[in-house]
Structure 1
Amino acid sequence: MTEILAQTSLETDLPPPFPDHTQLPESDGSFVKNFQEHPQSLILTDSLNPILERLHPDGQYAIGQDCGIYWRETDPPEKGAEAPDWFYVPNVPPKLDGQIRRSYVIWREHISPTIALEFASGDGSQERDQTPVFRVEGTGSKPGKFWVYEQIIHIPYYGIFLITRNELEMYQLVGAYYERMIPNQRGHYPIPPLEVEIGIWQGTYLNQTQAWLRWWDLEGNLLLTGQERAELAEQRAESAEQRAESAEQRAARLAERLRAMGVDPDL
């Protein structure tokens, strides 16, 4: 009996297991900062699809759009998470146990995102905040997201898109710290693990004409969205049809000239 009671007490004293993505909040309750955020996420994901299909023929990757990356347990849980506006994680299933991901939990999957992007409506100071966790313990505040991405989650590439200035800051993790990247001759920043470059493109998407973050391949060719690819295919088909019509018209004119010379064009 004593042995049973001791075993029961031991089981009762065990701490609860770490929560998973279904047990953690999927939103911190904050408003989207501007009308560009969601279209900006969509254009990045849409145009990257052909690259992702080639890099991950098994479909093992995840794209996060304004959803939480949990890196420690806190109360409330949101204080132990950061929610990049867009991020990509390789070699993880797009769903967990058949369920759509509600968040990304580092302590359960142990794979860091390759790249995280923030779309800053302000001057970027919040996105560059390097305040470490030990300076905010007991204050109710959160550590700086720059520090979390760099020192805790270890995201190799971190970008801050200053929407009001149409400027992009890219950082690469070198050793233990981020270093500001220098753009190439095209004004883009290479992201070798994705075999792409990222930069700023001026144009219209979803009825908004402005500067957008876009992908290019390593030769400098813009990666098109699904709609852009469809429009390009339609233009090529129309061009081929026009070329065929022109060839027909030239043949008809030649036949007329031959007949005028007394030559049967059918021979």
Structure 2
Amino acid sequence: MLNDKLSTYSPSPEERKNLYQPPPDNELKELIPGLLKAKLLILWAERMDWFLGLNMGIYQDSDQESIMPDAFLSLDIERFYHEELRPNYLLWNENIIPSFVLELLSATYHQKYTGKWERYQDLGILYYVIYSSRRRRKPHLEVYKLVNGKYELQSGNPVWMPEIGLGIGCERGNYSGVTREWLYWYDADGTRYLTPEEQVKQSAQRLQQESQRAQQEAQRAQQEAQRAQQEAQRAQQEAQRAEQLAQRSEQLAQRLRELGVDPDNLN
């Protein structure tokens, strides 16, 4: 099945030029997929059955040049081979077709819709995601799902991808010190997962709140101790006054005896 998919597409020389030419340098092409990977490294930290490649060549066979999405995600795959990691993604070795590819559109993005679209579709990649914040007439984010061998546009933002267990969407936020629209992962309820920076900030706030609560508890305990000490002091003072009254009573009784009066039979 995999070999059949790999042999269905053979690009023309002109298509090869457009498909495989490295994209122009663009900081967002590093930061946007980098954010997705950074979050996934936290979200799926305990899982070792996934691989997210960034600007990495996917090779169909040894005789063809690679096709290079901005990001792709494969599931049910060994996450690490060894400490040198993957230099590229060789389909004939991996035997796993990516479930998800991401293309960040530049000012001239026609080939993202034609040559790459068809290539990904023929390979059987389940989700094809296109993003560009430059768009004015079309949505910034388009998520296509492979249905009966053809890509169909999915509605909504974010879009839930049940086969992957993640949603993807775009909204304004701050990452790496930049406030703009970013791509994020979402849960099944449409709740955005926090970025690593947001998690650190949230953890710091939580720790600060816990510290404040602990400080308040310590202050309340100190106040209770002070009140208890004051109560003990008052009790001691009352005991001293009672002792003084008893002493005066005994002195008076002794004086009466000296005068020949029995203090016990004063009636």
Is 1:93 equivalent to 2:85 in the alignment? no
Query: What's the counterpart of residue 217 of structure 2?
Result: 247
Quote the Cα distance in structure 2 between the aligned partners of 1:114 and 1:180: 16
Report the TM-score, using the length of structure 1 for normalisation.
Answer: 0.69
What amino acid is the match of 1:42? Answer: G
The structure-2 alpha-carbon separation of the partners of 1:190 and 1:124, relative to structure 1 and needing over 3 Å to count, comes to farther
- Give distance in 2, aligned partners of 1:108 and 1:67: 15
8 Å contact kept, 2:69–2:103: yes
Report the equivalent of 1:179.
152
Match of 2:127 in 1: 157
Alignment of 1:67-146 (within 5 A): 67-74=56-63, 77-78=64-65, 81-96=66-81, 99-122=84-107, 124-129=109-114, 144-146=115-117
Q: Supply the AA of the counterpart residue of 2:119.
A: V
CA contact (8 A) 1:94 1:101 kept: no
For residues 218 and 202 of structure 1, the distance between their equivalents in structure 2, rounded to whole angstroms, comes to 20
User: Percent same amino acid at aligned positions?
Assistant: 28
Distance of 2:78 and 2:227 partners within structure 1: 68
**Greater percentage in helix:** 2
Root-mean-square deviation over aligned CA pairs? 2.8
Matched, 1:170 2:143: yes
Number of positions where the alignment pairs a residue of Structure 1 with one of Structure 2? 213
The alpha-carbon distance between structure 1 residues 107 and 209, as it changes in their structure 2 partners (threshold 3 A), is: same
Structure 1 residue 33: Cα displacement: 4.1
Whether the 8 Å CA contact 1:161–1:167 is kept in 2: the answer is: yes
Look up the SS of the partner of 1:45 in the other structure.
helix
2: CA distance, partners of 1:120 / 1:170 = 13
Superposed CA offset, 1:197-253 (max 9, x none): 110121221122211100011123322233332222111010011122233445556
Unpaired runs of at least 5, structure 1: 1-27, 130-143
The answer to whether the Cα contact below 8 Å between 1:189 and 1:198 also exists between their aligned partners in 2 is yes
Structure 2: 5+ residue stretches without partners: 1-19, 236-267
The answer on whether the counterparts of 1:198 and 1:216 sit within 8 Å (CA) in structure 2 is yes
| 1:95/1:101 contact within 8 Å kept | yes
| Cα contact 2:170–2:181 (8 A) shared by 1 | yes
Match of 1:62 among 45, 51, 62: 51
Task: Answer yes or no: is the 8 Å Cα contact 2:175–2:197 preserved in 1.
Answer: no
Alpha-carbon distance in structure 1 between the residues aligned to 2:227 and 2:94? 76
Q: Does 1:53 align with 2:45?
A: yes
1:3-34 Cα deviation digits (max 9, x unpaired): xxxxxxxxxxxxxxxxxxxxxxxxx5624442
- Structure 2 SS opposite 1:222: coil
